[in-house]
Structure 1
Amino acid sequence: MHRTPARTPARVAVVGAGPGGLTCARVLQRHGVEVTVHDLGAAPAARDQGGSLDMQAGTGQYALRAAGLWEKFGALARPEGERTRLLGRDGKTLFDAVPPREGQGNPEIDRGQLRDLLLDSLAPGTVRWGHKLERAEPLGAGRHRLHFANGETAETDLLVGADGAWSRVRRLLSDAVPVYTGVTFVETGLNEAEARHPELAALTGEGTMMALDDNLGLVAQRNSGGHIRVYAGMRTPEDWHRRAGVDLAEPAAVRAALLERFAGWSPALRGFLTETDTGYVNRPLYALPVPHTWEHTEGVTLLGDAAHLMSPFSGMGANLAMRDGADLAQALAGHPEPDEAVTAYEKILLPRSTEAAEGAAEGIESAFAPDSAEQVLAHLTGRH
C-alpha cells in the first residue's frame, strides 16, 4: 500500500531576541516546533533592555498566557507601577490616577526582567548569541540562507524578522525605512531614588510621571531596584545638538543645553535634568510610514518593530510584538503548511498594526504640541 511520506517539519529561524522574537520561540516550543533564534548581542546582558512596560490585557497578557508564563510573570510584576501622574510645567498636579486593584489593569515589569523570564523558558541553546545578520540569500521555494557577520551561515524554511527598527529581514519584503518623528528624548536616570533623590522620587510617585508643555516634556518612570528612568523630550530638529554646538559625550554641555530648553519650568522639575546618576543618552524617535504593508512572500515574515515601528506614545510596542509572536507561533502550529500559517497571520497583523501605528502618531502629536498638557489631560480623563 502506498503511504504518503510524513511532512518534514519546517526549520524556523527568528532573527532578534527581543520580547516578540522570544515569545514566538517559546510558543513554538510549547507546540513542539523546532526554532532557532539569532541575535547580534554577544550575550543576554550585553545591552541595556530599557525601562518598564505595562502588560496589556489583549496583547502582552494574552501572549504571556499563550507562553505558559502568566504565573511567573505575576511574581515579578509591579501593579503599583501603573499609576500615572500628569504635571504642568509649574510642577502642579493636573491628574493622578491610583492604579487598579490587584488582578486588574496592566501591571508593570522591567524590560530586562521580562526578557530574562522569556529566555529562561526556552530550551538550552535556542538562542545563538553573537550572530548579526548581514544578509538573507533566497534559495527558492521560500528557503533562505542566512549569512552572519561572524562568517557562519544557516538555512531556514521560514525566516521571521524580529530584528527591530533597522531590520535587515524587512528588506526582503519592503523598501520602507524608519523616519524621524520630530521628537527626541534625552535619557538620564536616578539610582537609589528614595535615599539619594527623595524629592524627585516623591514627584514621580509609584509609576510614571509626565510633565508636558509647549513641545517639551519630562517623563519619569519607576523601575525595580529603586531606579527611576528620566526622559527629557523635545520637538526639535534631529541634529539639535550640532546646531547648538553641543558635544553629546560631554555631560555638562548636554545638561546646560537641556536647562536652557526647560528655562521657566519649576526648579523641582528641572531637578530631573541635573540630579543624574547615569549621564545622558540622546534618543531620537523614529517610526515606519503608516500604513506599512507588504506583498506576501513565501518563506519570510515580520513581527514587532520590524513590522510596525511606532513612537512609544502608543504604549503598544512591546505588547504588540509579543502578541505578534504568539499569533505567528499558534498559526504555524495550527496549519499544515508554513505558508498557509504566515498568510493567515499577516491577515491579522497588518490591519492591527496599522490601527496601532495611527494611534501612536496621534499620541506623539498630542504630547508634543503647544497645548500638550491640555490634550493629554483630555485623553487621560476621557474628554478627547
Structure 2
Amino acid sequence: MTSPTPAHARISVIGAGPGGLTCARILQRHGIPVTVYDRDTGPHARDQGGTLDLHADNGQIALREAGLLDAFFRLARPEGQEMRRLDASGALTGHLVPEPDELFKPEIDRGQLRDLLLDSLRPGTVRWGRALEGVGGPDDGPRLLHFTDGATVETDLVIGADGASSRVRPAVSPAVPQYAGVSFLEAWFSDVRVRHPEIAELVGRGSAHAADGERAMFAQRNSGDHIRTYLVQRVPADWIGAGGPAADDTEGIRALLLERYAHWGPRLRRMITDNDGPYVHHPIFALPVPHTWRPSPTVTLLGDAAHLMPPLGVGVNLAMLDAGDLALALAHAADLDGALRAYEKTMLPRSVETARALEGRAEDLLSAEEHDLDHDGSGR
C-alpha cells in the first residue's frame, strides 16, 4: 500500500492525556485532520492526578507550537517551584525559593492542563468511552482499531499515546513494563489552610520531600488549596491487595504505615493520620532499557507508551515534546512513512539516553543524602 499524505490520511491518536491532546492540537493547527480515542466516559470521568511542572526546554516548547503557551502561563503557578528538603524529624535541611520572575518549570494541575488542551481542539475531536483492545490489520495499512465494545475503526495511522499499559505498543514491540521495586501511596488533603494548617505550613507553596533511606514522603501543593502527598516505599508490587490490606481498608493501611514511619517526627506523621479519604496505590513500573522497535509505516508511540521511566520529573514533559515533534514531522512530510521515520530518528535516541540516565533511579526518592534540590524528583 502506498503511504498516504498526512493531510489526506485517517490519523487516530489513542489516549487523551497531555501527549495525545498536544499532538492533536498541533496537527489541527497545521490543517491535518485527527481523531482522538479515550477509554474515559468523559473529560471529567476520573481524577486526573496532582500537579506537574512543565519545563522551558521541552513541555513549554510543545505548548508554544500548540499556540497555548500564554494561556498556560495564565494558569500556571510559578511559586510552585519552591522546594523544601526535610529530614525524618521534619526539620528543614534544604530550601529552594524561586526568583519572582522564574518561569523555567512552573506548576499546573494535570486537570487544568488537560482542560486547556481539550478546549483548544475542534468539537468532536475526542471520542470518549472508546477503550482500545488492540490494533489489527497489515503493517502497511490500513489498520483496524478493535475496541472492547466490539466496534472497529479503519485508520491509516495509529499513534499510541495511551501510557504505561499501552494497547498500541504490542503492534510494534513485545516489551512489557517491569516493576521498579518502589511503590507510591497517594493521600489527599483539602482546604488545607483551614483544616490542615500544620501540613500547609510544612509543605509551603511548592513541594516538600523527606526520606530516611528506606521510605520517603513527597508532598505537592495543588491549586484550590489542596495538597497531595506520596508515601514512597520499597515494597512488593502487590503489598496492597494480595500481599496486605485491601485497597479500601483505609484504617488497616494507615495502621501499617504508622508502624513503618514510627520513628518519623509528629508533623510528618500527620501526612498519614490526617488525610481526607482513601489512599491510592501507584506501584512504579518502567520499560526495559533501551526500548526501540521495528519501524512501521502505520504505527508509532509517544510518551509512556514509548519510554516509561521512573517518575523523576520528565514523563509528561517528554510526552509533550514527543507530541510536538511527531505533529511537526507529519505537517512537513510528503507521506506518513517519511514522517514517522523523521520523528523516530529524533525521539528514540533522546528517549533511550534519558531512560539510561534514569534506569534504576526510582530508589533515589528514598535517599536520605543531601542533593541538589533543583534536580529533585517530583513523582511525575
TM-score band, normalised by shorter chain: over 0.9
| SS of 1:57 mapped into structure 2 | coil
Amino acid at match of 1:346: E
After alignment, is 124-133 or 96-105 more displaced? Answer: 96-105
After alignment, is 279-288 or 141-150 more displaced? Answer: 141-150
Structure 2 equivalent of residue 380 of structure 1: 373
CA distances 1:243-295 after superposition (whole Å, capped 9, x unpaired):
86422211110000111111100011001001011221111111111111111
Amino acid at match of 2:177: P
Amino acid at match of 1:214: G
| SS of 2:264 mapped into structure 1 | coil
Does 1:354 find its partner at 2:352? yes
Structure 2 equivalent of residue 62 of structure 1: 61
Does 1:97 find its partner at 2:90? no
Residues 366 and 7 of structure 1: CA distance in aligned 2, closer, same or farther (over 3 Å): closer
| SS of 2:284 mapped into structure 1 | strand
Counterpart-to-counterpart distance in 2, 1:7 and 1:73: 28
| SS of 1:240 mapped into structure 2 | coil
Residues 381 and 188 of structure 1: CA distance in aligned 2, closer, same or farther (over 3 Å): closer
Structure 1 equivalent of residue 113 of structure 2: 114
CA distances 1:110-155 after superposition (whole Å, capped 9, x unpaired):
0000000000000000000011111211145232011112232211
- Within 5 Å, which residues of 2 pair with 1:200-349? 200-241=199-240, 245-313=244-312, 315-349=313-347
Counterpart-to-counterpart distance in 2, 1:268 and 1:64: 39
Residues 263 and 55 of structure 1: CA distance in aligned 2, closer, same or farther (over 3 Å): same
| SS of 1:50 mapped into structure 2 | coil
Counterpart-to-counterpart distance in 1, 2:78 and 2:7: 45
Counterpart-to-counterpart distance in 1, 2:324 and 2:131: 24
Counterpart-to-counterpart distance in 2, 1:317 and 1:338: 26
Residues 43 and 98 of structure 1: CA distance in aligned 2, closer, same or farther (over 3 Å): same
After alignment, is 354-363 or 270-279 more displaced? Answer: 354-363
Structure 1 equivalent of residue 160 of structure 2: 161
Does 1:38 find its partner at 2:37? yes
CA contact (8 A) 1:142 1:300 kept: no
Amino acid at match of 1:380: L
The offset of 1:15, in angstroms, is: 0.4
The offset of 1:214, in angstroms, is: 1.8
Counterpart-to-counterpart distance in 1, 2:45 and 2:256: 30
Structure 2 equivalent of residue 123 of structure 1: 122
Structure 1 equivalent of residue 147 of structure 2: 148
CA distances 1:200-238 after superposition (whole Å, capped 9, x unpaired):
100001101000112200111010000000111101122
Counterpart-to-counterpart distance in 1, 2:46 and 2:197: 29
| SS of 1:96 mapped into structure 2 | strand
Counterpart-to-counterpart distance in 1, 2:362 and 2:210: 14
Amino acid at match of 2:363: E
CA contact (8 A) 2:6 2:336 kept: no
Q: Between the two proteins, what is the percent identity of the paired residues?
A: 53
* Structure 2 length-normalised TM: 0.94
CA contact (8 A) 1:28 1:330 kept: yes
CA contact (8 A) 2:141 2:156 kept: yes
Counterpart-to-counterpart distance in 2, 1:37 and 1:347: 24
Counterpart-to-counterpart distance in 2, 1:6 and 1:257: 58
The offset of 1:364, in angstroms, is: 1.7
Structure 1 equivalent of residue 20 of structure 2: 21
Higher helix share: 1
The offset of 1:358, in angstroms, is: 2.5
Counterpart-to-counterpart distance in 1, 2:301 and 2:88: 40
Counterpart-to-counterpart distance in 1, 2:183 and 2:145: 34
Residues 80 and 141 of structure 1: CA distance in aligned 2, closer, same or farther (over 3 Å): same
| SS of 1:89 mapped into structure 2 | coil
CA contact (8 A) 2:232 2:365 kept: no
* Structure 1 length-normalised TM: 0.93
| SS of 1:225 mapped into structure 2 | coil
CA contact (8 A) 1:80 1:206 kept: yes
Structure 2 equivalent of residue 72 of structure 1: 71
Counterpart-to-counterpart distance in 2, 1:100 and 1:36: 41
| SS of 1:247 mapped into structure 2 | coil
| SS of 1:166 mapped into structure 2 | coil
Aligned-pair RMSD on alpha carbons? Answer: 1.7
Residues 6 and 15 of structure 1: CA distance in aligned 2, closer, same or farther (over 3 Å): closer
| SS of 2:137 mapped into structure 1 | strand
